[in-house]
Amino acid sequence: MLKISKVLHNYDLPLKTRYTFCLVPYNIGKSNSKENLLVSVIERYIGGQPITANFIATLFRWPLKLGKNLDQLTKLEDAYEFFDVYLWLSYRFPDMFTEPEKIRDMQIELNKIILETIRVIIFQDEPKCDDELLNNLLTEEIPETEENITDEIALEDFRVEFEADGVEVEAREEKENQETNTIQNEEKKLI
């Protein structure tokens, strides 16, 4: 919030608008690129021009490409976060952020690209995202090839291991809750 307010300090905005922009759920942190994205939107807003999906697509050079490493994954996640910002602002300024449906569609497509990027990073292999597979990802129809089945088995093993860890944590928490209740009951008896 403080970082965004410092960015807004340079612009002549009504107090209510300035305050609303300060409340945007967007962590700029030390990222110049995130700050530049927000500045581009603010300048367009001040100019009285609607912030359209086409404008946002231009900012991100849409369509985004599949990432192959953590830095590229972070950039994809930043784009997803900015789409959330757009959607948040579209509720507050519907006359200026005019295409939330298109942004939501872009966000859904981006989510699938992020998931495929994560798969590539986890299994450290080449992206399997040719045009046909990308279209299948977008329609959620993944062909059953030997590689995909192997990937699914590995993911299922991970899920089972993760769920087992969750069950152990739940059992430990239940035991701690019982011990806490026992101690509290004993304290009440003493009083």
**pLDDT computed for residue 164 by the predictor:** 52
Averaged pLDDT, 137-145: 52
Collapsing DSSP to helix, strand or coil, 175 comes out as helix
The closest of 75, 31, 77, 80 to 56, measured between CA atoms, is 80
The answer, yes or no, to whether the previous bond of 50 is cis (omega within 30 of 0) is no
Environment class of residue 20 by beta-carbon count within 10 Å: exposed (0-12), middle (13-18) or buried (19+)?
A: middle
**pLDDT computed for residue 112 by the predictor:** 92
Residue 184: is its pLDDT beyond 80?
no
For the chain, what percent of residues have pLDDT higher than 90? Answer: 15
Per-residue pLDDT band at 86 (split at 50, 70, 90): very high
**pLDDT computed for residue 110 by the predictor:** 92
Residue 187: is its pLDDT beyond 70?
no
Residue 170: is its pLDDT beyond 90?
no
What CATH number is given for 2-128 in this structure?
1.20.58.1080
Residue 2: is its pLDDT beyond 90?
no
**63-84: burial string, b at 16+ Cβ within 10 Å, e else:** ebebbeeeebbebbebbbebbe
Structure tokens at 133: 């597979």
Averaged pLDDT, 89-98: 90
Ordered alpha helix ranges (H), 9-130 = 15-22, 32-46, 53-60, 70-92, 100-123
Q: What are phi and psi of 145, to 5 degrees?
A: -95, 170
Averaged pLDDT, 163-173: 57
Alpha carbon separation from 84 to 58, 59, 87, 90 (Å, rounded): 17, 15, 5, 10
Structure tokens at 78: 């930043």
Alpha carbon separation from 63 to 6, 53, 109, 110, 119 (Å, rounded): 31, 12, 9, 9, 19
Residue 191: is its pLDDT beyond 70?
no
Averaged pLDDT, 158-173: 55
